[in-house]
Amino acid sequence: MANNDTTARRKARVRRSIRARAYGKPRLSVHRSSKQIYAQIIDDEQGKTIVAASSLEKDQRSALKSGANVEAARTVGKLLAERAKAAGLTDVVFDRGAYMYHGRVKALAEGAREGGLNF
């Protein structure tokens, strides 16, 4: 079995369990690459992104040494939480995708919680 197959299966398994317990809440989805980290809050009923944040944004790039560390992930989480509160969101469901809840993914989640999101 190829690595992409196992990754896709793990991602689908996580999403399936999230949708089962979401109860209409929007989903905070995380994507991390080797150089950056991205997060967005998605309304699955409408299929639209409500708010998004990443380490690629100009103010983030100038403030951070790297987009691929725990510090960057935490600041992206806080920024996403600020934007979500401005959009009137407080409760979301966390979607880690195929990534382990560890390191940068965990730091992003903690930053979002510090910013005021509940999940």
Q: Which domains does the chain have, with CATH numbers?
A: 3-115 (3.30.420.100)
Name the 3-class secondary structure at 51: strand
How many percent of the chain have pLDDT more than 70?
99
Statement: residue 41 has pLDDT above 70: yes
Angle at the Cα of 88 from the Cα atoms of 53 and 27, rounded to 5 degrees: 55
Mean pLDDT on 23-48: 96
The model's pTM:
0.92
Average pLDDT over residues 16-36: 94
Say which residue, 4 or 84, is predicted with more confidence: 84
* Confidence grade of residue 4 (pLDDT, cut at 50, 70, 90): confident
Query: Do 39 and 80 meet the contact criterion of CB atoms below 8 Å apart?
Result: yes
Q: Which residue has the higher pLDDT, 20 or 1?
A: 20
3-state secondary structure of 92: coil
- The model's confidence at residue 3, banded by pLDDT at 50, 70 and 90, is confident
Per-residue pLDDT, 1 = 57
In the numeric block, the tokens 């993914």 are attached to 105
Query: What proportions of the chain, in percent to the nearest 5, are helix, strand and coil?
Result: 45, 20, 35
Dihedral angle computed from the Cα positions of residues 7, 9, 12 and 17, in that order, rounded to the nearest 10 degrees: -110
Q: What is the residue type of 73?
A: A
